[in-house]
Amino acid sequence: MRKFELTVLGCGAAAPTPYFLTTSQLVNIHDHLILIDCGEGCQLTLRKKRLKFQRIKYVLISHMHADHVLGLPGLLASMNLLGRKSVIEVYGPQELESFVKTVWDKTGTHIDFEVNFHIVDSEIPTEIIKTGSYVVKAFPTKHRVKTCGFRIEELSGAWNIKPYAKEKFNLSYHEINQLKRGENVVRKEGVEVKPSEWCVAPYPNRSYVFAADTAFTPKVVEASKGATLLYHEATFMESEKEIAKKTMHSTAADAGKAAKEAKVSKLIIGHFSNRYRDLEGLLNEAKAVFENTYLAADGDSISID
Ligand SMILES: [Zn+2]
């Protein structure tokens, strides 16, 4: 199976602490590296884990709150210092480009490689990246400022034709392509070649959803439908429900509810408030609603399958 892995670079909310940095993660899909959000100091986790961050191709930024963007001007500056030449594609809110460029301008930072900014302004789920083997969609969440989550999904692989089927049916080029797409081949003389009998099915598509900062919302449930892995924020416990509501964040129980309603396979909770030293309470609250739940931790890598 091809590589599809999440590495958590920062799983805290608001400000870095000795226990965790703010939100940032690295997704490796088929050996393409995608950085999601870029909290302050995320380059420290990238370096400690010896991740090949010069290979990051895409950066996805969910919203303009400090704990999700402060690391970006610095990370790109470090890439430049270390001799990066290849282009990087950055997707995020409209204000992102001027924020990053202002920091560079005021600090005399010159960037020698191409940084392309793309505005993500999605009211509905929108495809923002498509390669030969996966797609990335942005979808709106429910937060105090305009915020997008991201869904990274593999595209269907081709059906594999069993070797003896080609000879047995003397398949034409056109028929081979039909079977690879999973379509039945029907010939004039009534012979039918079915992929279910003569091919090996492709692996099911795996998907990863990063739900960003959000209060509980059906929009996130819809965008997370059937995901292999959902990363949902769980900033607070139910005892802080009122603060969660006011700041438009989720409780751990809310995260469990989203995972349950979306019927995902696995849930990881993160974006923890600094008030919790012991995260077991958050985990237990989410698990009470959705059993297959895990706590995020800085530096952890999780295979998405
Ligand atoms: Zn936020």
pLDDT digits (tens, 9 = 90+) for 245-261: 999 999 999 999 999 99
Note whether 53 and 178 are same-domain residues. Answer: no
How far does residue 213's CA lie from ligand 1's centre (Å)? 5
For residue 172, give its domain range.
Answer: 160-198
End position of a domain, from candidates 168, 198, 228: 198
Residue 40 CA, distance from chain mean position: 19
83: phi then psi, degrees, rounded to nearest 5: 90, 20
Least Cα distance to 154 among 200, 208, 231 occurs for 208
- Check whether residue 216 and residue 180 sit in a common domain: no
C-alpha pair distances (Å), 161 with each of 15, 49, 143, 195, 206: 53, 40, 48, 8, 22
Measured CA distances, 213 to 91, 140, 229, 239, 294 (Å):
17, 10, 17, 19, 18
Helices (H), 153-294: 163-169, 173-180, 195-198, 218-223, 241-247, 252-262, 280-289
Structural domains in the chain (count): 2
CA of 161 to the centre of ligand 1 (A): 48
Query: How many alpha carbons lie under 13 Å from residue 263 in its C-beta half-sphere?
Result: 3
Q: Tell me the pLDDT band of 277, cut-offs 50, 70 and 90.
A: confident
Same domain, 57 and 111: yes
Would you mind telling me the total number of residues written for the chain in this entry? 305
Active site residues: 67
Per-residue pLDDT tens over the stretch 179-195:
998 899 998 888 899 99
Q: Which residues contact 116 (CB under 8 A, 6 or more apart)?
A: 87, 88, 89, 90
Distance 123 CA to ligand 1 centre (A): 17
Looking at the structure, do residues 95 and 189 belong to the same domain, yes or no? no
pLDDT class of 155 with cuts at 50, 70, 90: very high
Distance 301 CA to ligand 1 centre (A): 24
How many angstroms does the Cα of residue 28 sit away from the middle of ligand 1? 24
* Residues 146, 173 share a domain: no
38-to-46, 229, 232, 289 alpha-carbon distances in Å: 11, 20, 17, 30
pLDDT exceeds 80 at position 240: yes
Q: Which of 146, 170, 198 marks a domain boundary?
A: 198
Q: pLDDT at residue 156 above 90?
A: no
Residues 193 and 224 in one domain: no
| Pair (133, 167) in one structural domain | no
170 phi/psi in degrees, rounded to 5: 50, 60
Question: pLDDT tens digits, residue range 216-231?
Answer: 999 999 999 999 999 9
pLDDT tens figures, 32-86: 999 999 999 999 999 999 999 999 999 999 999 999 999 999 999 999 999 999 9
Ligand 1 center–CA 133 separation, angstroms? 31
**For ion ligand 1, residues whose CB falls within 5 Å:** 65, 213
Sign of CA dihedral 38, 44, 49, 55: positive
Q: Are residues 259 and 183 in the same domain?
A: no
Give the pLDDT mean for 279-301.
Answer: 96
Same domain, 153 and 164: no
Shared domain for 171 and 210, answered yes or no, is no
- State whether 24 and 44 are in the same domain: yes
Ligand 1 center from residue 147 Cα (angstroms) = 8
Supply 141's token pair: 């969440």
pLDDT at 110 over 90: yes
Kindly give the distance from the C-alpha atom of residue 143 to the centroid of ligand 1, in angstroms, as a whole number: 7
Instruction: Answer yes or no: do 54 and 67 share one domain.
Output: yes
Picking from 198, 213, 228, the residue at the C-terminal end of a domain is 198
Domain with residue 299: its CATH number is 3.60.15.10
